[in-house]
A and B are shown apart, each in its own frame.
Chain A
Amino acid sequence: MSYLPYAVAAWICLVGLAGVATSRNLIHLAICLMVTQSSSYILLLSVGYVEHGKAPIFKGTKLGTTAVDPVVQALTLTDIVVSVAVIALILALALDAHRLSGTVDPDGIADISG
C-alpha cells in the first residue's frame, strides 16, 4: 500500500506545467503539454488498480479472477486520443505562427498583431 503512483502523477503534471510556462519554443511547449497530459493517464490507471489484480482480459484467464477496473482503462484510451488531437492542432498553429512571424519563440510571436 502506498501513495507513490498518485505522487508521480502530481509531479509529472507540475513539471509539465512549469515547462509550458517557461518554454522558448512552440514545439517544446507542445511536448511539455503532452507531458502534463500524460500525468492524467497515470492517475487514471492508478485509481483503477486493484491489489494483485490482473488485466481485465479473460482470454486464457478464468472469469472471476481479480482484475483491475476496465472503465479507467477505456477512459485512458479516450484521453490519449484527445491528446493526439490537441497536439496536432497545436503543431499546426505552430507551423502557422512560424510562417507569419518567422519564429517559434512564444515571446517573439507576442510582438506581432493583426
Chain B
Amino acid sequence: MTRRVRIVVLAPALLGLGALFAWAIAGLPAFGDYRGPYGYVLNQVVVPLRHTTNVVMGVTFDVRGIDTMGEEFILYAAVLGVTLLLRDESGSNTVERHTRRLGSDAVRLAGVLMVGGGVLVGLWLVAFGYVTPGGGFQGGVVVAGAILLLYVVGSHRDYRPFRDEHVLDPLEGLGAGGYVMVGLAALASGTAFLTNLFGPGKSGTLLSGGSIGVLNWTSAFAVTAAMLLLFAHFLETYVAPLELEDAGA
C-alpha cells in the first residue's frame, strides 16, 4: 500500500471516527456535571474507614487493590518482553561512537545535584503517597528517572551498579511478590484476599491506612526496579562496546 493510498483510506476513516466521537460527546453530561455515585461515596467513606487522606491511593491500594496487582504484573510482563527481545543485543560492535563524558563541568555538577534531589523527591512521594499527593508508582518512576540522570551526566561506569541484574531482579521480585504476599497474608488470616490487615492508624500520618502503606512500598520497589531494568536493557546496546574497550585498554 503506497502512502497516497493509505492517506486516501485514512482520511474518511478519521472523519467517520470524528463524527462518532462528536455524537458520543453530545450524549454525555456537560463537563463538571458529575452524576456517578462512586466518587461521592468513596470521598465520604475512605477517610473514615482507612484513614488514608489521599483517597486516590486508598482506591488504588485498597478498594481496587486486585486491579493494581494486575497493573504491577503488566509492568512485570513488559520488562520480561523487553528482556527477551533485546537479549542478543549486547556484544554487537557496530554501534557508532558516543561521547563518553559531558564537556561542561557546570552541567555535570547541576546534573549530579539533580540526581540527589530527584531521588529524595521520589522517596518523599512514595513515603507520603497515601497522605498527600504521590504514591508508589509515581515516586518509583521519579527515583528511577533521577538515577538514569547519573548515566546522562556521568559515564557508563558510574551507572554500572544500577544496571546490575543481580540487584534489580530480586528487587523487582520483592516488589511484585511482596504485593501478592500481603494479599496471601490476609487470606491466611481467614479473610478475603488483600483485605486490609492492620488497624487504620492515625489519619494524616505515615501510620495510617494499614496494608496500604506496605502495598505502596512494594509497588514503589517493583516500579523502580522495572524502570531500571528497562533502562538497563536499552542502554546495553550503547554501553557494551564501550565496556569491551575498557577491558582492552
Show the binding face of A for B, using Cβ within 8 Å: 1-7, 10, 13-14, 17-18, 21-22, 46-53, 55-59, 63-64, 67-74, 77-78, 80-82, 84-86, 88-89, 91-93, 95-96, 99, 107
Q: Which residues of A contact B21 (CB under 8 A)?
A: 10, 13-14
Q: Are B47 and A58 in contact (CB under 8 A)?
A: yes
Indicate if B131 sits at the interface (CB-CB under 8 A): yes
For chain B, give the interface size range. 35 or more
Q: Are B74 and A81 in contact (CB under 8 A)?
A: yes
Can you add 17 more A-B contacts, CB < 8 Å, to A21-B10, A50-B34? A18-B10, A22-B6, A48-B34, A49-B32, A56-B55, A56-B56, A57-B54, A59-B204, A63-B44, A63-B47, A67-B43, A69-B39, A71-B64, A73-B56, A84-B141, A89-B78, A95-B86
Q: Are B77 and A48 in contact (CB under 8 A)?
A: no
Q: Which residues of B contact A53 (CB under 8 A)?
A: 32, 34
> CA separation between A24 and B136, bound complex, in Å?
37
Indicate if B169 sits at the interface (CB-CB under 8 A): no
Q: Which residues of B contact A68 (CB under 8 A)?
A: 34, 39
Q: Which residues of A contact B30 (CB under 8 A)?
A: 1-3
Q: Are B137 and A77 in contact (CB under 8 A)?
A: yes
Q: Which residues of B contact A46 (CB under 8 A)?
A: 31
Q: Which residues of B contact A2 (CB under 8 A)?
A: 30-31
Q: Which residues of A contact B234 (CB under 8 A)?
A: 91-92, 95
A contacts with B: majority SS: helix
Q: How far is the CB of A30 from chain B (nearest CB, A)?
A: 13
Q: Which residues of A contact B7 (CB under 8 A)?
A: 21-22
> CA separation between A59 and B186, bound complex, in Å?
28
B contacts with A: majority SS: helix
> CA separation between A53 and B55, bound complex, in Å?
14
Indicate if B237 sits at the interface (CB-CB under 8 A): yes
Indicate if B59 sits at the interface (CB-CB under 8 A): yes
- The residue of chain A having its C-beta at the shortest distance from the C-beta of B83 within the complex is A92
Known: A22-B3, A56-B43, A95-B234. A84 touches B78 (CB 8 A): yes
> CA separation between A41 and B89, bound complex, in Å?
34
From B3, B31, B78, B223, give the contact of A86 (CB < 8 A): B78
Q: Which residues of B contact A95 (CB under 8 A)?
A: 85-86, 89, 234, 237
A-B contact pairs, 13 of them (CB 8 A): A3-B30, A10-B18, A46-B31, A51-B33, A55-B133, A69-B34, A70-B46, A71-B59, A74-B59, A88-B79, A88-B81, A92-B85, A96-B86
> CA separation between A84 and B75, bound complex, in Å?
8
Q: Are B33 and A77 in contact (CB under 8 A)?
A: no
Q: Are A18 and B14 in contact (CB under 8 A)?
A: yes
Known: A21-B6, A88-B230. A57 touches B204 (CB 8 A): no
Indicate if B210 sits at the interface (CB-CB under 8 A): no
Known: A3-B28, A91-B234. A82 touches B3 (CB 8 A): no
Known: A49-B34, A57-B132, A71-B42. A89 touches B92 (CB 8 A): no
